[in-house]
Amino acid sequence: MSDRLLDARLVVDRGVFRLDVPLRVAPGEVVALLGPNGAGKTTALRALAGLHPLTDGHVTLDDVDLDRPATGGWVPTERRSIGVVFQDYLLFPHLSALDNVAFGPRRHGVERRAARATAREWLGRVGLDAQAQRKPRQLSGGQAQRVALARALAVAPSLLLLDEPLAALDARTRLDTRAELHRHLSAHAGATVLVTHDPLDALALADRLVIVEGGRVVQEGDGPSVTARPRTDYVARLVGLNLYRGRADGHGVRVSPELTLTVADRLDGEAFVAFRPAAVALHPARPEGSPRNTWAGTVTGVQRHGDNVRVQLDGPIGVAADVTPAAAAQLRLIPGQRVWVAVKATETHAYPATG
Amino acid sequence: MPAALVIPAGLGLLFLVLPLAGLLIRTPWTTLPERLTEPGALTALRLSVQTATLATALCLLLGVPLAWVLARIEFPGRRLVRALVTVPLVLPPVVGGVALLLVFGRRGLLGGWLDSTFGITLPFTTTGVVLAEAFVAMPFLVIAVEGALRAADHRFEEAAATLGASRWTTFTHVTLPLVAPGLAAGAVLCWARALGEFGATITFAGNYPGRTQTMPLAVYLALETDLESAIVLSLVLLVVSVGILVALRDRWMTTA
């Protein structure tokens, strides 16, 4: 077995939109394609499944070209060793949960009784023995999700694809299902690609994140490295950081013509500076002393955010600040209010924008 | 309530219901059992049910694939094909009968060849009745099934493909069960239309008792000779129609 079970470069032209995403996944590895709506994630998944042909590039699974327009190589969906969990599951409404799961093995030439036995085993594995005879409409959202997972895994696919696997679930079910899904994905010996716009799902389920924006990969890496060093506003927002790009000169990064942030790291050239909203302090008057970055800003929005209040501010740079409700009341924060913004250099994290 | 609307509405309803009431009033209820079991009536009834059922089978065999092609395959001229399919719906059935004669008649385009090559004669035979009924009834089936196919989520078919199902298996194991209600409704409508077929049948297949004389033809003939018999046969057709309406009420009558 090679270290790359799946090797793909997904190029799909759709009018003005072009998807171009290289993707390599090792056996047992779970990769999350994470990106905003319209980034091309679902198109990428459909291309892997053979539901949408590539314009260019290739999909190679287990050293077999499934799709390679340059040479005309093409394996249709039904002959690919894949399993797909669709966003709304698409359980066949006329079949019981058991027969939904047995459908794949049956089509792969397994005799009826054996296929049913396999299906029963998988339903047991996802904890749904008791629901085997139910029709999809008699299942809860969480149960339907598990049946869909069992159905996809019952054919022992080399490549498991999941499209927003938890998006259709309510918050409570989502937590339980996420934990359970993680267990099953970890147990899956093949490659797994999951598509999501939810960073929590991606971080909880995937070994590696591939961030896609506008059809391109903008960042790639494991959870900690992506969350610690976001490279686009989208990722920064996902992980809840303020992110700026500027020119570094020692301990200063010039992030706007009027503002140079003092940072704890030392670097030169193009750089990112990131800091948490909770690291931002707001003051009615200019704070004196201490190695702080300070500037004047205007409140543009105030929202509850967990136990705190998230304040959006305009100024030389836009910034989000988390303050306690007490502080917010004391500062009388309303849109249009002028305040002083302060961030300690030690609270910032600066890293090169290149490489 | 504006009288200008209510009064015509009432008259319209009366106009539709009164003839049916007349039929019921004039029905010879006392002699009904004997009338129904008269050899002529039974023969016509049996022939009608047989031919309508065979015509429906033919429509299913050819019409379901046609509906599938119209619903699932993009091809140039699809709108034209769909329009062609619905022509028999608006065509006077007698014209359909003439057209069938011109193609399948002994001297017709295909009929001559069928006759000389296989010795098959279609006009004025029971097979001819089935053809005439199928010609007129098939659009009902195609339209109903195409509608059901369009309404069904085609992504179920994609899901079936990801599980290893071929196009054909997907069609038989996923698509058909999904559209089963629409298919059943279409088949029932098709059967009802075939059962009531008159114009194309009498033109293409003639009016031979036991061979091509279906219920509507028998009614027409009886009208000249035996009014009571015509009424009884009409009543049977009315009962069948109302029965079909009741069976399909959830599908077609739920706009209220």
A45-49 long-range CB contacts below 8 Å, 24 or more apart?
A45/A84, A45/A161, A45/A163, A45/A193, A45/A195, A47/A10, A47/A12, A47/A19, A48/A6, A48/A8, A48/A10, A48/A23, A48/A82, A48/A159, A48/A161, A48/A193, A49/A77, A49/A80, A49/A82, A49/A84, A49/A161, A49/B158, A49/B162
Q: Which CATH number fits domain B47-252: 1.10.10.10, 3.30.1240.10, 1.10.3720.10, 1.10.3470.10?
A: 1.10.3720.10
Q: CB–CB of B155 and A155 under 8 A? A: no
Q: CB–CB of A94 and B159 under 8 A? A: no
In chain A, the residue whose alpha carbon lies closest to the alpha carbon of B155 is A90
- Whole-number Å distance between alpha carbons of B88 and B94: 11
Average pLDDT of the residues of chain B: 91
Could you tell me the two tokens for B191?
A: 């059967």
- Whole-number Å distance between alpha carbons of A159 and A49: 9
**Which 8-state DSSP code applies to residue A78?**
G
SS3 A321: strand
Q: What is the mean pLDDT of residues A198-204?
A: 88
**Burial label, B27 (beta-carbon count in 10 A; 0-12, 13-18, 19+):** middle
The model's pLDDT over A63-121, given as tens digits with 9 standing for 90+, comes to 999 999 999 999 999 999 999 999 999 999 999 999 999 999 999 999 999 999 999 99
pLDDT of residue B252: 56
Alpha carbon separation from A177 to A86, A128, A191, A312, B75 (Å, rounded): 15, 13, 20, 34, 44
pLDDT of residue B255: 43
SS3 B66: helix
Q: What is the mean pLDDT of residues A19-26?
A: 96
Residue ranges per structural domain of chain B: 47-252
Q: CB–CB of A51 and B162 under 8 A? A: yes
Could you tell me the two tokens for A82?
A: 């894949």
**Which 8-state DSSP code applies to residue A288?**
P
Residue B50 scores a pLDDT above 50: yes
Q: Which residue has the higher pLDDT, A136 or B256?
A: A136
Q: Could you tell me which residues come within 8 angstroms of residue B161 by beta carbon, excluding any fewer than 6 positions away?
A: A50, A51, A76, A77, A78, B170
Residue B75 scores a pLDDT above 80: yes
The model's pLDDT over A258-316, given as tens digits with 9 standing for 90+, comes to 899 999 889 999 999 999 999 999 998 888 766 679 999 999 999 888 888 999 999 99
Q: What is the mean pLDDT of residues B55-71?
A: 96
In chain A, the residue whose alpha carbon lies closest to the alpha carbon of B159 is A90
Chain B residues inside the 8 Å CB shell of A155: 163-164
The model's pLDDT over A171-181, given as tens digits with 9 standing for 90+, comes to 888 888 898 99
Local confidence band at B251 (pLDDT 50, 70, 90 cut-offs): low
- Cross-strand pairs, A330: none
Local confidence band at B256 (pLDDT 50, 70, 90 cut-offs): very low
Chain B residues inside the 8 Å CB shell of A152: 162
Q: CB–CB of B159 and A90 under 8 A? A: yes
Local confidence band at A1 (pLDDT 50, 70, 90 cut-offs): very low
SS (H, E, C) B196-242: CCCHHHHHHCCCCCCCCCCHHHHHHHHHHHCHHHHHHHHHHHHHHHH
SS3 A334: coil
Task: Report whether B229 contacts B41 (CB < 8 A).
Answer: yes
Q: What is the mean pLDDT of residues A232-254?
A: 89
- Whole-number Å distance between alpha carbons of A346 and A286: 19
How would you classify the pairing of strands A280-283 and A292-305?
A: unpaired
Pick from A121-125, B155-159, B209-213: least confident: B209-213
For chains A and B, count residue pairs whose Cβ atoms are closer than 8 Å: 57
**Number of helical (H) and strand (E) elements in chain B, helices listed first:** 15, 0
Q: What is the mean pLDDT of residues A221-240?
A: 87
How would you classify the pairing of strands A292-305 and A338-344?
A: antiparallel
Dihedral in degrees, nearest 10, Cα atoms B107, B108, B112, B113 = 160
SS3 B189: helix
Residue B111 scores a pLDDT above 70: yes
- Whole-number Å distance between alpha carbons of A187 and A172: 24
Q: Is A85 on the interface with B (CB under 8 A)?
A: no
CA distance A90 to chain B (A): 6
pLDDT of residue A94: 95
pLDDT of residue B42: 86
- Sheet of A259-275, strands arranged across: A242-256, A259-275, A349-352
CA distance B180 to chain A (A): 10
Buried b (16+ CB within 10 A) or exposed e, A138-154: ebebbbbbbbbbbbbbb
List domains and CATH numbers for chain A: 6-236 (3.40.50.300), 240-352 (2.40.50.100)
Q: CB–CB of B163 and A103 under 8 A? A: yes
Q: Which residue has the higher pLDDT, B49 or B106?
A: B49
Chain A residues inside the 8 Å CB shell of B161: 50-51, 76-78
Q: Which residue has the higher pLDDT, A200 or A41?
A: A41
The model's pLDDT over B161-182, given as tens digits with 9 standing for 90+, comes to 999 999 999 999 999 999 998 9
Q: Is B168 on the interface with A (CB under 8 A)?
A: no
- Chain A, 128-167: which have a CB under 8 Å from a chain B CB? 151-152, 155
Residue A314: which H helix or E strand, with range? strand A308-314
Report the percent of chain A where pLDDT is more than 70: 98
A6-A7-A10 Cα angle (round to 5): 110
